[in-house]
Structure 1
Amino acid sequence: MASDSNLIRYEKLTRLQRGGKARTLEICSGAGGLSLGMLKAGLDLSAHIEFDPEAAESYAHNFGEAEAYNSAWARPRDMIETTAAELVSELGFTTTAAESFDVLAAGLPCQAFARIGRSKLRSVSGEEDAFQKDPRASLYRHFLQFVEDTQPLAIIIENVPDILNFGGHNVPEEICQTLEQSGYRARYTILNAAYFGVPQVRERLFIVALADTLNQAPEFPAPTHFLNLPKGYEGSRRVALKHVSNSSRHFHPIPVPNPELPPAVGAREAIGDLPVIMEHFKDPAVIRRRKLSATLPYQANIGAISDYAHLMQTWNGFATSDHSNGHLVRLTPRDFPIFNRMKVGDDYPVARQIAEKLLVETLAEAGLTGISEDSQRYLDIRAKIVPPYDPAKFPNKWWKLDPDKPSRTLTAHMGKDTYSHIHYDSKQRRTVSVREAARLQSFPDGFQFAGAMNAAFRQIGNAVPPLLGYAVARTLLAQLGRDVSKPEVEKKVARRRAA
């Protein structure tokens, strides 16, 4: 089987070096953040697998054919129930699974990487033992099967940094050791999205593996922007890196930006040109009736827009004219006055103090300063002004964007709660819109999200920032394009062909 693998990979490399595009299969693609970055870098998006129906529909709409909504591209698939052979057949490929893809990418859920033992990880043959019955291991086993079935030249895996210390276990180290058994050289590191032009402080773990055929170790992109990480991130890194051995040949030092690089993109640069939304505290029904697909014009007369905003408006293949969509926000009228008084960087404990002060002011204006706090009238007034959450239990529940700094990390929880990203403009008294969240994640304005508002927020929070994906993919593509010496591989291929 090793000779077959070498032959397949060598022929793929030869095709690329003759000018062919790198064909990509992405597993757990989501709406397509990493895919968009890979597309921008020059890779071909040949196929994807995504379980969530709305995310799969978004992917098909943005990357598929005109009839994508009814096509095989839009069909949600479970990676456990789908084989590579079935996928290429459903998509109408004339090549086998092993012949069809050069790059295999995956953003598998963290649960897929539970500790299951090195010897067990290396087995994808289906032996009957305890690890095979562990549901936490099933996704990773199936991912290894996709590696076996597609024989990619390169592999990209993205996950949260905590995977480095998953129950006291360094999973990426184990993954790299496992991939080596299948003929790859693998490395892993942490990349921060803000270092690569994304207006968001988002730490992510990347594993990159290259087939031995390429005769080179994986590389990672150098930062393009500088940022002093906010308090807390260094501590989180230390916890994540606790089980990374200094002697590990798989760990790549975390890239550090040069202070002379351009500063990281701030929130105002990222979203300052998008429409002002103020209808909600005058007539909330206006926004409640607005659809995700409805468009609003960009702000006029604001002077020159930032380079980042210009990129979001003009991204090749996703350019807009003078309008964009996605201008939906969550509405809780109780909190509008609180948003108005919050300062940039304020969190929930501060917001709660503001609310308590508003309550005192409201009671005074109504002549109810001495009202009993046990009375129903007092409780009714309080409920209309003060949020019910305990500041001690939810210290980070709210946060107001700093216009001059990158945003905090966007998460899938935005599908339920966007108070982690309150707009820096107090006049607008609201949390960020769908389009603003997409901007903070570096999705261009022409990128469309399927489903309703909550689904769109969830897809955005789950995504790999496209600009971060672009940085990783561009570095990878440069390595795939190198003219490397392959004497041993050529000898093996020659022997295989002569057999």
Structure 2
Amino acid sequence: MEDTAVLRKIERLAAGGQPRVLDLFAGAGGISLGFQRAGFQIAGAVEVDPTAALTHALNFHADHPDVLETHARARDITRVEPDQLASELGLGPVEDAVDVLVGGPPCQAYARVGRAKLREVAAHPEAFKVDPRGNLFLRYLAYVEAFRPLALLMENVPDILHYGGHNVVEEMVEALDGLGYSAGYSLLNSAFYGVPQMRDRVFLIGYRRELGAKVTFPKATNHMVLPPGYAGTRAVALRHVDLFNGSGYISPDLGDESLPGPVSAQDAIGDLPPILGTSVKRGARKFTELVKYRTGIRASEYQKLMRQWPGFESCGGVKDHVIRYLPRDHLVFAEMRQGAEYPEAHATAVRIVERKARESRIRPGTAAYDKLYASIVPPYDVSKFPNKWWKLRPDWPVRTLMAHIGKDTYSHIHWDSTQARTISVREAARLQSFPDGFVFQGAMNAAFRQIGNAVPPLMAGAIAEVMHKVLRESTMASVQPNGTTPRRPDVPRKAQAPRSKRRSQ
């Protein structure tokens, strides 16, 4: 039986229609921004955090004030049904509403996912309701079943490839096969795609089989040799991936030394004005003061892109170049070596205490010495928090920005010792490839959290460009000269048992 909704979407895109995207678990909108840049229309989003939902709405729907409030509403995907969402957003019948579904389901309960459960929800989209675990991967599949997108993208952390001794993404590929999709996945590092950050993430792409499309991933635009820690992490992540026998895994094309090197931290944020860590006072930070770019330096190509991103152009500077108040740590920040981690930072702090004690003739074991020690040396256990602190190298991409920067930013200490501080909100946004005209809502901590949670827009955009090309070419090829869309005899298929050649995880 033909899926008439799918055929209508194919015909619409073949006639030149702009592909429409629904972003699930959208956050501030990193994926949305990348897809918009590649030529997609952002039809709507689902985000449970009110501040992030407001950020998304104001950046993607501010031109339509009559629907802004609707788009800014926080929604819990486990409580809103697909048809209800389509109605609230004014998208029409759910099966006709969008062409592409994207999103990164949060990673709860990986070990509890299994082929049986995924097949169950593929056959019965509301089956997740009887599962008290409320697994969000199951909810993602329910939305796929209801919206029938021509294409989909899912993003997640590398642990999803081996959590609990099995490969969750491989199981998603099988479940999507039962829903009528050809899918594949890859482990990509954003530094290879023009992002000034070494960030490993798993991306899954799926296309309706009516399109006859092959899943491919973008070729690298930049090349680097990842540090040993990243190489080791990738090896662990891939240990449950069958690279040779029927796996849905697709090895990325990482290029070679002939490609340009990675975008460095200096390339990314070197044009933003200095801030002295000692100049910051206690209190809330507001994004109201425009700070102009540094003068007398030549902007890098990356910095020009961040200033001139179409639709998100800056106004000669930024308004969220603000940092945290960290009065204890500026001495350590100043004396740390670039590239140093927490054990070295702790040792540096102890040396500073010993030096100051000698200068002031304060003896160890006294109350005065203990007070001096507590005022300079951080209290974290060196053996338990080796990666808690890290001082940027200006000539390298930075390490992964995490949601934890909403609580502290010790993982990204500015390389300039004269400033002696952690990175600002706008510097974090730049390092995540958000353009300067993209505005984050909420207080400083909320903005940091939104940035750390996001998919880098340039990374999403690289994938979106590939998907846009595939959709354009495959929809055109699917439409016959008389304007009709032929039915492919092998689609869509219903949920089925795992393919016998696939090994159990």
Matched ranges for 1:286-297 at <5 A: 288=283, 290-297=285-292
The offset of 1:486, in angstroms, is 6.7
Contact conserved, 2:114 with 2:168, CA < 8 A, in 1?
Answer: no
**Which residue in 2 is equivalent to 1:461?**
452
Matched ranges for 1:78-89 at <5 A: 78-89=76-87
**Which residue in 2 is equivalent to 1:157?**
154
1:248-269 Cα deviation digits (max 9, x unpaired): 3411013322211111000000
1:490 aligns with 2:486: yes
Contact conserved, 2:285 with 2:444, CA < 8 A, in 1?
Answer: no
**Which residue in 2 is equivalent to 1:105?**
102
**Which residue in 2 is equivalent to 1:184?**
181
**Which residue in 2 is equivalent to 1:353?**
347
Change (3 A) 1:107 1:289: closer
Q: Secondary structure at the match of 1:26?
A: strand
The offset of 1:490, in angstroms, is 1.3
Q: Secondary structure at the match of 2:85?
A: helix
The offset of 1:128, in angstroms, is 10
Which of the numbers 71, 74, 80 marks the counterpart of 1:73? 71
Which of the numbers 330, 337, 340 marks the counterpart of 2:331? 337
State the distance in 1 between where 2:410 and 2:132 align. Answer: 34
State the distance in 2 between where 1:448 and 1:312 align. Answer: 13
Contact conserved, 1:100 with 1:150, CA < 8 A, in 2?
Answer: yes
Supply the AA of the counterpart residue of 1:298.
Answer: Y
Which of the numbers 249, 252, 259 marks the counterpart of 2:250? 252
State the distance in 2 between where 1:112 and 1:98 align. Answer: 29
Which of the numbers 436, 449, 460 marks the counterpart of 1:445? 436
Change (3 A) 1:127 1:250: closer
**Which residue in 1 is equivalent to 2:415?**
424
Moved over 6 A (4+): 486-489
Matched ranges for 1:266-285 at <5 A: 266-278=264-276, 280-281=277-278, 283-285=279-281
The offset of 1:133, in angstroms, is 4.5
Q: Secondary structure at the match of 2:486?
A: helix
The offset of 1:106, in angstroms, is 1.4
The offset of 1:113, in angstroms, is 4.2
**Which residue in 1 is equivalent to 2:469?**
478
Q: Secondary structure at the match of 1:110?
A: coil
Matched length: 481
State the distance in 2 between where 1:460 and 1:444 align. Answer: 12
Which of the numbers 23, 45, 49 marks the counterpart of 2:46? 49
Q: Secondary structure at the match of 2:136?
A: helix
Contact conserved, 1:27 with 1:105, CA < 8 A, in 2?
Answer: yes
The offset of 1:292, in angstroms, is 2.3
**Which residue in 1 is equivalent to 2:214?**
217
State the distance in 1 between where 2:344 and 2:464 align. Answer: 41
What residue ranges of structure 2 are gaps of 5+ in the alignment? Answer: 490-505
Change (3 A) 1:260 1:492: closer
1:61-116 Cα deviation digits (max 9, x unpaired): 111135389611100000011112111211223x2011010000111011164443
State the distance in 2 between where 1:262 and 1:394 align. Answer: 34
State the distance in 1 between where 2:322 and 2:67 align. Answer: 23
Q: CA RMSD in A?
A: 2.0
Contact conserved, 2:110 with 2:168, CA < 8 A, in 1?
Answer: yes
Q: Which moved more, 1:62-71 or 1:99-108?
A: 62-71
Q: Secondary structure at the match of 1:204?
A: strand
1:298 aligns with 2:326: no
**Which residue in 1 is equivalent to 2:90?**
92
Matched ranges for 1:378-397 at <5 A: 378-397=369-388
State the distance in 2 between where 1:336 and 1:65 align. Answer: 40
Which of the numbers 303, 307, 315 marks the counterpart of 1:313? 307
Q: Which moved more, 1:219-228 or 1:325-334?
A: 325-334
1:209-234 Cα deviation digits (max 9, x unpaired): 00001102211100000111111111
What residue ranges of structure 1 are gaps of 5+ in the alignment? Answer: 494-499
Q: Secondary structure at the match of 2:214?
A: coil
Contact conserved, 1:57 with 1:69, CA < 8 A, in 2?
Answer: no
Identity %: 45
State the distance in 2 between where 1:103 and 1:114 align. Answer: 28
Contact conserved, 1:114 with 1:137, CA < 8 A, in 2?
Answer: no
The offset of 1:127, in angstroms, is 9.8
Which of the numbers 7, 10, 24 marks the counterpart of 1:10? 7
1:367 aligns with 2:364: no
Contact conserved, 2:280 with 2:324, CA < 8 A, in 1?
Answer: no
Change (3 A) 1:445 1:249: same
Q: Secondary structure at the match of 2:164?
A: coil
Matched ranges for 1:402-417 at <5 A: 402-417=393-408
Q: Secondary structure at the match of 2:353?
A: helix
Change (3 A) 1:269 1:68: farther
State the distance in 2 between where 1:226 and 1:330 align. Answer: 33
State the distance in 2 between where 1:8 and 1:20 align. Answer: 15
